[in-house]
Amino acid sequence: MAVTTVQAQNKLIVFRKEVYREYVRQNLFAPYVGTELTAVIRVINDLKKGGEQINIPLIARLKDQAISTGPLVGNEEAIDNFGDRMWIDWARNAVIIQKSEEQRSSIDLFGQARPLLEDWGKELQRNEIVDAFYAIPLNNTAPVGLSSTFGQRVNGALFDAATAAQRNTWMADQSDRVLVGGATALYSATFATAMGNITAGMTFSAAMANKAKRLAKLANPRIRPYKLKNGREYFIVFLNSLHFRDLQADPTIINANTQARAREGDGLDKNPLFQDGDLVYNGMIFREIPELTIRLPVTYTTAGSGSIQVAPAFFCGQGAMAWAWGRMPRPTFRKEDDYQFIRGVGIEMAYGMKKIAKLNPSGNYREWGIFTIFAAAQADT
């Protein structure tokens, strides 16, 4: 009996029109970005009117002793003020498709171009916020690569590109707003020495965060809390996934969520022991940012004792970072279309990001709204 078989060329192939695009995570910094003075990452729109640089004025509190019966004339206090400068640069991308390729394609390739470009722009902005947190802010110095082929929107020295001298200067300048391995005794003005003092057991913990909070309240200039409510102060702590993992496993955090979280109504849906999301403890909101792990500078991967991986966590108040916009994202279109045979669509924007810092009378250049915590961050095995 001869059984008919369908030849390969005659087999039915169904090509779906619905496209599955690669996942692009939302910007988890977004709730803390805004134009208001209370924002952790403050958006500045002044450069939309033109210009490449912007000056951010910073004024310290008055600190002199009070004058009682002595003469006030000649004993006036000078206002400690500083202008922190930052730069913006362009970011562009585009996609072109020929009619011949559109004719061959089973999907609407050109129709996918715009959402892909939008995702690209959002991912770039989020990743450069991460890079700016890692970067070393430089006093009124344009970023390396500004206006080059690829540009540079992150102000300061990118951490892996920074020199040992720049890292040491940063460490010395932040002496009152850095906690190494959970103990003040582990601090060193030499960056490599400080990181080498961190051992594998010095993982991120509630005790470490509590100590950082106490120290941050004493820092000078003062770090303004993200939120004040009924005399209580709240700070935001941005953690990479490895630090967040260790904090989740901390018995203090587990007990706090076990004993103090609401159980009525939808308490189960909100309890972080069962659901993904922020951890809240002692006036601190701990937010996991996976890109802090993905984009961890290479320098940190073997910086700890015995070449273990360490990583910073960023304990933030108001005005931790500035995000200056010169041109909001907008679509662009190719004009050189070869007699309408080529279609092209693009995106362009101009912005800059920088950790705000102030040069103090003592000569140190201190970050304005960030306290940095360094802890062991062993990769999953």
| pLDDT, tens only, 131-188 | 999 999 999 999 999 999 999 999 999 999 999 999 999 999 999 999 999 999 999 9
Q: Please choose, from the candidates 101, 148, 151, 94, the residue with its C-alpha nearest in 3D space to the C-alpha of residue 128.
A: 151
| pLDDT for 17 | 62
Rounded CA separation 24/150 (Å): 22
The token duo for 50 is 């033109």
Single-letter residue type at 249:
A
**Phi/psi of residue 297, nearest 5 degrees:** -55, 140
221: preceding bond cis by omega (within 30 degrees): yes
pLDDT in tens, 28-76: 999 999 999 899 999 999 999 999 999 999 999 999 999 998 899 999 9
What's the pLDDT band for 8 if we cut at 50, 70, 90?
Answer: confident
Q: What is the mean pLDDT of residues 283-292?
A: 96
Rounded CA separation 242/293 (Å): 7
The token duo for 18 is 């619905």
Q: What is the mean pLDDT of residues 306-328?
A: 97
**Percent of the chain whose predicted confidence (pLDDT) is above 90:** 76
Q: Please choose, from the candidates 2, 21, 28, the residue with its C-alpha nearest in 3D space to the C-alpha of residue 278.
A: 28
| pLDDT for 272 | 60
Rounded CA separation 192/314 (Å): 19
If phi > 0 it is left, if psi is from -120 to 50 it is alpha, else beta; for residue 129 that is alpha
| pLDDT for 367 | 98
For 180, the enclosing helix (H) or strand (E) is strand 178-180
CA 72 to chain centre: 46
Question: How many C-beta neighbours within 10 Å does residue 112 have?
Answer: 14
Higher pLDDT, 82 or 231: 82
Q: Please choose, from the candidates 361, 323, 345, the residue with its C-alpha nearest in 3D space to the C-alpha of residue 33.
A: 323
| pLDDT for 127 | 97
| pLDDT for 1 | 79
Averaged pLDDT of the chain: 91
Q: How far, in Å, are 55, 70, 157, 355 from residue 84 at the CA level?
A: 6, 37, 15, 10
What's the pLDDT band for 275 if we cut at 50, 70, 90?
Answer: low
pLDDT in tens, 122-142: 999 999 999 999 999 999 999
| pLDDT for 87 | 98
Instruction: Give the three-class secondary structure for 299.
Output: helix
